[in-house]
């Protein structure tokens, strides 16, 4: 018996039952079926399913996509959309929720089996990536040095607590700001240090001693260094600045 827990959301009793019986024959624990938004949310909270199979258009719901988005975003549940529609607008809205797979009605068990297998694989990969990201940011947060990361155009994407303390900026307010507006640096003569862009600093990696102007206007002496952020193909995607 496969321990993977599945919730079916469908207000057409026959279709929901067909999916349920097919999953049982495929070796899954008997899935629960919800025909209303209230029942669906109650089961999500109580049973904590690993996967949701949901009809893309339900007569009992004014907006099935809103329910799907809530399940996806608030509870992090992977979703397979069940549909007989060729409605481009519905498919576009469904795509915004980033479902694991689509299953067209009428379906056969091989298609259902493949869709669930794809969803399980994508969900495990997504969870593994999230775990790695949590470990990564936990490591950055515990660093003794201040660290700020930016995207390719120099907008801030991450600050650790030490960087917040040194600059006087909280990350929640500095996120997406231009790096120079938060890390305002001058040299010993009082001249503002230019070119903190990722492309410039990726070519100029030497440490330097400068004066940082904090958010409150105070100045502190810092030593900073920068390194490029690159994707797996080696393309520049941002910058990491470390300072103390």
Round to whole Å and give the CA distance between 202 and 183: 17
Mean pLDDT of the chain: 81
**Contact partners, residue 139, CB within 8 Å, separation at least 6:** none
* Residue range 103-146, pLDDT digits in tens: 888 888 999 998 888 888 877 777 776 666 667 667 666 778 89
Span of 123-137, 164-178, 227-241 with lowest mean pLDDT: 123-137
- Which percentage of the chain shows pLDDT scores above 90? 26
Round to whole Å and give the CA distance between 228 and 237: 8
Indicate whether 195 pLDDT > 50: no
**Contact partners, residue 243, CB within 8 Å, separation at least 6:** 145, 146, 163, 166, 183, 212, 222, 223, 224, 225
DSSP one-letter code for 125:
H
* Residue range 91-101, pLDDT digits in tens: 677 777 778 88
Instruction: Reply yes or no: is the peptide bond before residue 106 cis, omega within 30 of 0.
Output: yes
DSSP one-letter code for 176:
T
Round to whole Å and give the CA distance between 63 and 89: 13
Round to whole Å and give the CA distance between 77 and 73: 8
* Residue range 206-223, pLDDT digits in tens: 566 788 889 998 998 988
* Residue range 36-74, pLDDT digits in tens: 888 999 999 999 999 999 988 776 555 678 888 889 888
State the CATH architecture for 6-135.
Answer: 3-Layer(aba) Sandwich (3.40)
**CATH topology for the 143-243 domain:** Beta-Lactamase (3.30.450)
Mean pLDDT for 160-167 is 92
Confidence of residue 203 (pLDDT cuts 50, 70, 90): low
Domain parsing of the chain, residue ranges? 6-135, 143-243
**pLDDT given for residue 21 in this prediction:** 93
Round to whole Å and give the CA distance between 167 and 213: 7
Confidence of residue 184 (pLDDT cuts 50, 70, 90): confident
pTM of the model as a whole:
0.58
């Amino acid at each position: 018996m496969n321990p993977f827990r599945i919730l079916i959301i469908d207000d057409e009793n026959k279709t929901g039952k067909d999916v349920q019986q097919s999953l049982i024959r495929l070796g899954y624990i008997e899935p629960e079926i919800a025909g209303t938004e209230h029942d669906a949310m109650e089961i999500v909270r109580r049973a904590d399913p690993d996967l949701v199979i949901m009809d893309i258009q339900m007569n009992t719901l004014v907006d099935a996509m809103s329910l799907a988005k809530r399940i996806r975003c608030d509870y992090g549940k992977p979703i397979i959309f069940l549909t007989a529609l060729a409605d481009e607008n519905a498919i576009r809205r469904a795509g915004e929720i980033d479902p694991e797979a689509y299953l067209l009605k009428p379906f056969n068990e091989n298609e259902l089996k493949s869709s669930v297998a794809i969803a399980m694989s994508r969900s495990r990969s997504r969870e593994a990536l999230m775990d790695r990201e949590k470990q990564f940011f936990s490591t950055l947060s515990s660093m003794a040095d201040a660290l700020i990361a930016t995207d390719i155009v120099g907008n801030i994407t991450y600050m650790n607590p030490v960087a917040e303390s040194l600059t006087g900026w909280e990350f929640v307010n500095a996120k997406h700001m231009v790096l120079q507006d938060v890390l305002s640096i001058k040299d010993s003569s009082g001249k503002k240090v230019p070119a903190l862009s990722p492309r410039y600093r990726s070519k100029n990696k030497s440490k330097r001693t400068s004066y940082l102007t904090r958010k409150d206007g105070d100045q502190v002496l810092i030593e900073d260094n920068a390194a490029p952020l690159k994707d797996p193909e080696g393309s520049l995607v941002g910058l990491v600045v470390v300072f103390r």
